[in-house]
Amino acid sequence: MESNKITECQEQNLKVDKIPEHYLKLDDDALREKIKVAKKTLGNKLYIMAHHYQKDEVVEFADVTGDSLYLSMEAAKNKSVEHIIFCGVHFMAETADILSESWQNVYLPDENAGCSMADMANRLDLEIAWAELTGKFGSSNIIPLTYVNSTAQIKAFVGENGGACITSTNAETIVKWALGQNKKILFLPDQHLGRNTAYNLGVELEQMAVWNHKNGKLILPSTDVEPLIILWDGYCAVHQQFTMKNIEKMRLEHPDVQIIVHPECNFEVVQNADFAGSTNKIIETVQNAPNGSKFAIGTDNNLVGRLQQKYKDEKEIYFLNFYSCSCATMNRIRLPHLAWNLDNILNGNYQQKIEVDKQTATSALKSLEKMFKIMQN
């Protein structure tokens, strides 16, 4: 019997869609034609970006695809465009707005495309945690790090307190830098990326505490060991779906398969996979593997499905969990939203524009620039 419980990766789809109804009534061919005409009309004033987890129908019209930070950096480099449509989620569009020029407009086709993990850390809760932790360990003894999958407000707080942003690609480099500061690390909002990264760098699990943001309590794994890493108790609803049962079933059915997962998966899953890496690393691993290779991939199913199609005549690619739900917030953006966004731009209606206030953007930029500086050294 199926459960009626709504999962976290589905709940965003319950939010009211503000798109005019007539866009939802158009068939795909009509929508595609509208998008093609709008793109041709706007020409080099327009730049459409799509995250790897977007639906195929959206990726079809993207000028560039990639992970969240890569796309934001591409937006920052492209100084010739006036309109940047970010087909992703809210924090990604915020980052693109922070890194782009003031005269450039960044849009999110559906403003309800948020991120449940980013929403697990807000500025008020972080300030409460910071006050408690600095009171306990000293104000000069903690450095904050935030995954780029966080709101502009969180990035701003981290920037104001000498910390840096982090991505799944550069996680080990940034955490290694932070460990070299001889301070405790507050890592947010994804506990799994923080735990997996720190463990790979030699930090024992007993040295990792968890901050429960719901009740404002620090959970210590051991009373005998002082924590070195304090993990915010956030997580990605999509990657948390992958379990040891998925791995055991896959190895039983396909003994020669290589299992690849994203480091947002839980510790046990990552430890029992053959490889864990960022979205781009997963793509590169499959791309560079010899023909005949077999992979089971634990990440968003939209991406896995595209990899299956791309390499169907060369490599065997399986869903680590076929029944896992894709990122519902990414999936909110569909052809009707893209067509509506383009029509609005053509009509001078910028209601889907994402703007980060100047004060927040200035502070958030500090955390991003700190990350870039660390990567250059």
pLDDT tens digits, one per residue of 263-273: 999 999 999 99
pLDDT for the residue numbered 80: 86
Average pLDDT over residues 55-74: 90
Q: According to the model, what pLDDT value does residue 326 have?
A: 83
DSSP 165-211: EE-TTTHHHHHHHHHTTTSEEEEESBHHHHHHHHHHTT--GGGEEEE
| Superfamily the domain 118-236+362-376 falls into | NadA-like (3.40.50.10800)
- Residue 16, pLDDT score: 57
What's the pLDDT score for residue 154?
98
Please report which confidence band the pLDDT of residue 1 belongs to, taking 50, 70 and 90 as the band edges: very low
Please name the helix (run of DSSP H) or strand (run of DSSP E) that holds residue 164, with its range, or none.
Answer: strand 164-166
Q: Residues 274-299: what's their mean pLDDT?
A: 96
Four-residue CA torsion sign, 346, 350, 355, 357: positive
Which is it for strands 217-219 and 208-212: parallel, antiparallel or unpaired?
antiparallel
Ranges of each domain in the chain:
8-114+330-346, 118-236+362-376, 239-319
Q: Is the pLDDT of residue 63 over 90?
A: yes
Q: What is the pLDDT of residues 102-130, one digit of tens each?
A: 999 999 999 899 999 999 999 999 999 99
Q: What is the mean pLDDT of residues 156-185?
A: 96
For 186-223, how does the pLDDT look when each residue is reduced to its tens digit (9 = 90+)?
999 999 999 999 999 999 999 999 999 999 999 998 77
Domains 8-114+330-346 and 239-319 share a fold: yes
Model pLDDT for residues 319-358, shown as the tens digit of each residue: 999 888 888 888 899 999 999 999 999 999 999 999 999 9
Q: How are beta strands 105-107 and 184-188 bridged, if at all? A: unpaired
- pLDDT of residue 242 exceeding 60: yes
- Mean confidence (pLDDT) of the chain: 92
Query: Residue holding tokens 């991939």?
Result: 297
CA 160 vs. chain centroid, Å, equals 22
Q: Which fold has domain 239-319?
A: Rossmann fold (3.40.50)
Please give the pLDDT value at position 46.
Answer: 97
* Residue 45 pLDDT greater than 50, yes or no: yes
Q: Count of CB atoms within 10 A of residue 94's CB?
A: 26
CATH 3.10.20.30 fits 8-114+330-346, yes or no: no
Cα-based torsion angle of the residue sequence 64, 65, 71, 73 in order, rounded to the nearest 10 degrees: -60
C-alpha triplet 7, 9, 11: angle, nearest 5°:
65
Query: Does residue 23 carry a pLDDT above 50?
Result: yes
From residue 114, alpha-carbon distances to 132, 152, 296, 330 in Å are 28, 13, 28, 8
- Asked whether the beta carbons of 301 and 324 are under 8 A apart, the reply is yes
Give the pLDDT of residue 296: 97
pLDDT at 12: 45
Tell me if the bond preceding 189 is cis, omega within 30° of 0: yes
**What's residue 190's pLDDT?**
97
